[in-house]
């Protein structure tokens, strides 16, 4: 992966690129990155400094190291492998979260379950999850743990969106839902962010299924 078929030199280290490309493929195979949506990033060196992020419009199923660009403050492009490549349009959300939180990687996906939950609980400002084993994967081991997952409006102005997500982000809840859009999840590194994302998505799917069963009178 040090070089693509076109001979383009990637702009991030092989290990970083390999890790993000593998995660992208895993998520894409699950259908969590439909229609080139979603974006993934990892910090390079110092926290809050430059980060590698998927370029705008990249097909995550076939993500290559040359599809990663380096962005900095406010998500602005610093380096790209191919002239004309741009960071994901939501790179400013990643930049804001890196500034606010001590995290090393951010994953953003659009799924049916996270969209449904974000819409169902938008008016409450958060989705509350209690007494579930998967809360441990999100760092909550205490008995009767309660997790409030913040939900923000899907602002079309991306500066406004970044501001809302960063403001809602809590250090003890590694994710923020955006109404009818998706979720931003973070972790100290890419593997931890993936673990958090899998836990969130399990909880969302479980919740949607449970509500459906309740509506159908299955008595759960």
By C-beta, is 33 or 199 nearer to Zn ion? 33
Residue 203 CB, shortest distance to Zn ion, in Å, is: 20
SS3 per-residue string spanning the chain: CCCCCCCCCCCCCHHHHHHHHHHHHHHHHCCCCHHHCCEEEEECCCCCCCEEEEECCCCHHHCCHHHEEEECHHHCEEECCCCCCCECCCHHHHHHHHHHCCCCEEEEECCHHHHHHHHHCHHHCEEEEECCHHHHHHCCCCCCCEEEEEEECCCCCHHHHHHHHHHHCECCECEEEECCCEEEEEECCHHHHHHHHHHHHHHHHHHHHHHHHHHCCCCC
The residue among 10 and 96 lying less far from Zn ion, judged by its C-beta, is: 96
CB 55, min distance to Zn ion, A: 14
Nearest-angstrom CA–CA distance, 100 and 96:
6
Residue nearest Zn ion, Cβ-based: 182
CB 167 to Zn ion: min, Å: 18
Closer to Zn ion at the Cβ: 140 or 201? 201
Closest separation in Å from C-beta 108 to Zn ion = 6
Structural contact between residues 59 and 127, judged by C-beta atoms closer than 8 angstroms: no
- In the bound state with Zn ion, the residue whose beta carbon lies nearer, of 175 and 182, is 182
Residue with tokens 């993500």: 63
Q: Which is nearer to Zn ion, 44 or 165 (CB)?
A: 165
Residue nearer to Zn ion on the CB measure, 40 or 135: 40
- Whether residue 214 contacts residue 119, with contact meaning beta carbons closer than 8 Å, is answered with no
Q: Least separation, in Å, of the C-beta of 216 and Zn ion? A: 31
Please, what is the minimum distance in Å from the beta carbon of residue 80 to Zn ion?
20
Question: Footprint of Zn ion on this chain (CB under 5 A)?
Answer: 182
């Amino acid at each position: 992966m040090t070089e693509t078929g076109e001979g383009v030199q990637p702009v991030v280290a092989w290990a970083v690129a390999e890790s993000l490309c593998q995660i992208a493929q895993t998520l894409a195979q699950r259908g969590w990155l439909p229609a080139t949506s979603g974006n993934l990033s990892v910090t390079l060196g110092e926290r809050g400094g430059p980060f590698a992020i998927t370029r705008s419009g990249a097909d995550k199923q076939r993500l290559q190291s040359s599809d990663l660009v380096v962005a900095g403050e406010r998500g602005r492009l610093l380096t790209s492998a191919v002239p004309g490549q741009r960071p994901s349009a939501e790179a400013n959300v990643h930049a804001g979260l890196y500034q606010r939180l001590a995290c090393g990687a951010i994953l953003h996906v659009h799924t049916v379950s996270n969209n449904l939950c974000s819409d169902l609980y938008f008016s409450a400002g958060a989705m509350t999850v209690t007494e579930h084993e998967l809360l441990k994967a999100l760092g909550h081991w205490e008995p009767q743990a309660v997790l409030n997952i913040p939900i923000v409006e899907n602002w079309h102005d991306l500066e406004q969106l970044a501001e809302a997500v960063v403001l809602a982000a809590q250090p003890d809840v590694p994710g923020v839902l955006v109404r009818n859009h998706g979720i931003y999840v973070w972790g100290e590194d890419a593997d931890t962010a993936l673990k958090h994302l899998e836990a969130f998505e399990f909880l969302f799917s479980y919740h949607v299924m449970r509500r459906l069963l309740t509506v159908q009178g299955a008595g759960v």
